[in-house]
Amino acid sequence: MLKVTCGLVGRLMRRIAWATGTMLIAGVALPVQAETLTIALSSSVNTLDPTQAQVVGTDVSVAAHLYSSLVARNADSKLVGVLAEKWYPEGDSTWVFDLKAGVTFADGEPLDASVVKWNIDRIRNPETKSRNRAWFDPVSGVEVVSPTQIKIHTKGAYPTLPDQLSMIFFLSPKWMESHNPANEVYGTGEFKLKEFVAGDRLVLVRNEAYKGVASPFDSVVFKIVPEPAARVAAISTGEADLAFDIPLEEVERLKGGGKTNAGWVASSRSMVVRMNTAKPPFSDNVKLRQAVNYAIDKQAIVDGLLGGLGTVSNCQIMTPAYFGYNADLKPYPYDPEKAKQLIAESGLVSGTQIELQVPMGRYFMASEISQVVAAQLQEVGLDAVIREYDFSSWVQPYSRGEMGAMSLMGQAWPTLDADGQLGLYASQNPTAYFKNADYDAALKAGRATNDPKDRLVHYKQATEIMCREAPVIFLFAQPFTYATSARIEWKARGDDWIRAADVVLK
Amino acid sequence: MSRYFLIRIGQSLLAIWGIVTIVFVVTRMLGDPAVLLLPLGTPDSQIQELRSSLGLERPMVVQYLDFLGHAVVGDFGLSYQSFRPAMEVVLERMPATAILTASSLALGAVLGAATGFAAALARGRFLEFVVMCFALAGQATPVFWLGILLVLFFAVELGWFPTGGWDGPASLVLPTMALGIFVAANITRLFRSSMIETLSEDYIRTARAKGLMPRTIFMVHAARNALIPVVTMLALLAAELLGGSAVTETVFSWPGVGRLLVQAIDSKDFPVIQAGVFLIATIFVCINFLVDLLYTLLDPRIRLGR
């Protein structure tokens, strides 16, 4: 009887082997395409509608391949013109954009100043329900001067308008009469959409009507690969050319692989431990806030937990990629003795329990980092208690201004401008947890002019105040890891933007 | 008989309504999606505006009645994330899940039946021990770990199959193996014990006494009857797998329903959660109903016993 079953199983196995073999041939026999760039995205693309796209790393980056913006930020974090030839402020309440002539949609409809105005007005219209409307709150009106010139009038100065416009893409008013951009794509970008398999991939092919510099790639495939180990596998087999958020321990291995390459770059996201300066024990107690900064060995966290991938923040929540970065500031040194001394001077009642909130699943190694932070705070005699929260249950009280004494979090601002990033701590912001009149005044002054030199002076002042007043424990810039196949090179950037234009074919 | 079915249909509808209601209440307890949907630093007035445009500022009862009224005709509203009808968003992920379910059930059923059969026949011998060890290991192995191993071996080392994604039949092989092994482990154990039980029945002894070939006894008299609980198990597994296996789908970048729902819960995309749960609940209830039907056909005792 055993023989019978073995025979059965054997036959079955042979069947399976045969079936697998045929499938294998079907898999291998794919037609060899012209140059295709395959990019593995770490999370799903939610919407194709460029007016609703918010997440730079997915939706906005994909939109940038299909549609054109006025300006774009390149890998050196400089703004370059896309539809705009040049742009400049006129006085303190107007931005002028000179547009390139001859940009058209596929059917020949020109993308001129009136189309730009139509699009911006559409986003500003509450009826559109664009989630990005807040970006245009300071705009008072859009004026078409000529088909190739547009003026955007603002209530007061709006120095970061060009940066913000790098995330705004232009739809055809005519096409919009009968189409829904959530389902279809009709743009003026380098590529057009060939296939969209929800949750799996987007296949883009070259847009022949595109007049700019032609991409070396005939086709760009965005594959959604949510699991880090699967991204590593896809890079190892050459199925993907570029992938992000690679586990730290894999970076070294892929770097030395020969067939692959990997690396990291400081991202625009600063990790901090925020303190609630509206509540005891951190309210009106700058000594205690400074003390906790002295108590944490930032470099040890970077070296020990992140394997050296990361850069300690220079006593500010901006990296050098930001406009307004203050190169003169230095991190608080690790000095537990000084910390103890400051704690003694701060008048903190000993035995005060300090809650350290940790939102889970959002920030890189949040759990590990918070444990080191809590342990080092305990070493200087503070009773720090970790409480881990699911992100969505943490964000509710946080956004209402009811954060606990301390919370680990990462902060970035997509325009890479001090105005946005430092504005997170402006006292009118419900999630500022910080109130300092001088700081507010410096930010306000920085916003009141479109002159970059003038603005830098104010942000220098603001960052100095923030360093001294220490509303956070300044930790480090979160590393952004990536891996590539050997055939390409990626101009690494830490601002989440993913563009085929940053990829060079070797 | 028809009265019985009417009651069963009524019960099924009640179950779907109950699940949908619970999910409605639970999603509302997740908190406010408006905060998550807007960029950082959006003024409060606009958050309020979004909340009211999503209809979330209305009293719960009003929201619930409105939701029920639309859900009855299959309208679950627009997804907060993709701005397309929620049911459409769920349904477009269904084929991937359905194909993976079908292939892994098929593999699991065949493999599980074969090994379960072998184990039952080899009762008390070393082979049974080996088979049962594998079955236990198969059931205890976390699917994501097995999945990653399969990817490392068959995709990265050997290069036979793609590492993930949904592109052609080759991409189906590894996720099918991962889930199929899980299914097979379940079936093996069940089929083995069911076989052993059946083999001790009187009619088997009668068959032996009649002098029937052992092969006929095993294949026709024992196996057929022993398959009844296996059919139930397969149906239940099918219903479970059709709800999407988020873990397997994540490991293999498989664009199925499970991953979609986890993501929807993460981003508090209420319409997608509700549409997805409604669909899965309906499938589950329908399959259960079909199994009951099948039982009455397969087993005369149930049909006649009332």
Please report the pLDDT score of residue A141 as a whole number. 93
Sequence-separated (6 or more) residues with CB below 8 Å from residue B96: A199, A200, B166, B249, B254, B255, B256, B257
Contact A139, A153 (CB under 8 A): yes
Contact A163, A416 (CB under 8 A): yes
Buried b / exposed e across B190-227, counting CB within 10 Å, b at 16+?
bbbebbbebbeeeebeebeeeeeeeeebbeebbbebbb
Contact B290, B12 (CB under 8 A): no
Question: Across the interface, which of B111, B155, B250 has its CB nearest the CB of A237?
Answer: B155
DSSP assigned state of A329 = -
A395 interaction partners in chain B (CB closer than 8 Å): 31, 35-36
Please report the pLDDT score of residue A16 as a whole number. 46
pLDDT, block means (10 residues), chain A with 506 residues: 39 44 43 78 89 88 94 90 93 92 89 94 89 87 94 91 93 93 91 91 91 88 92 92 91 85 91 92 90 93 88 93 92 92 86 89 86 93 90 80 90 88 87 90 90 91 93 93 93 91 90
Q: Show me where the domains of chain B are located.
A: 2-71, 87-298
Contact B127 A12 (CB under 8 A): no
* pLDDT band at B302; cut points 50, 70, 90: low
Contact A321, A416 (CB under 8 A): yes
Burial class (CB in 10 A: 0-12, 13-18, 19+), B67: buried
Q: What is the average per-residue pLDDT within B51-55?
A: 85
Which residues are A206's β-sheet partners? A191
Contact B195, B123 (CB under 8 A): no
Is the confidence metric ipTM above 0.90 for this complex? no
Enter the pTM of the model.
0.85
Please report the pLDDT score of residue A110 as a whole number. 92
List, as ranges, residues 116-145 from A with C-beta within 8 Å of B.
126, 129, 131-135, 137
Give Cα separations from B45 to A135, A435, B202 (angstroms). 14, 22, 77
Nearest CA in chain B to A362: B266
pLDDT in tens, B148-203: 999 999 998 888 999 888 888 889 999 999 999 989 998 998 988 888 888 888 88
Contact B252 A230 (CB under 8 A): yes
Contact A237 B163 (CB under 8 A): yes
Topology of domain B87-298, CATH? MetI-like fold (1.10.3720)
pLDDT in tens, B208-264: 888 888 888 887 778 878 888 888 888 888 888 887 788 889 999 999 999 999 888
CB contact B156 to A (< 8 Å) = yes
Please report the pLDDT score of residue A135 as a whole number. 86
CB contact B128 to A (< 8 Å) = no
**Residue type at B126?**
F
List, as ranges, residues 54-73 from A with C-beta within 8 Å of B.
54
User: How close A165 comes to chain B (CA, Å)?
Assistant: 15
A199 interaction partners in chain B (CB closer than 8 Å): 93, 96, 255-256, 259-260
Contact B41 A46 (CB under 8 A): no
CB contact B162 to A (< 8 Å) = yes
Contact A54 B171 (CB under 8 A): no
Give Cα separations from B117 to A99, A303, B131, B217 (angstroms). 75, 56, 10, 13
Contact B164 A225 (CB under 8 A): yes
Q: What is the mean pLDDT of chain B?
A: 86
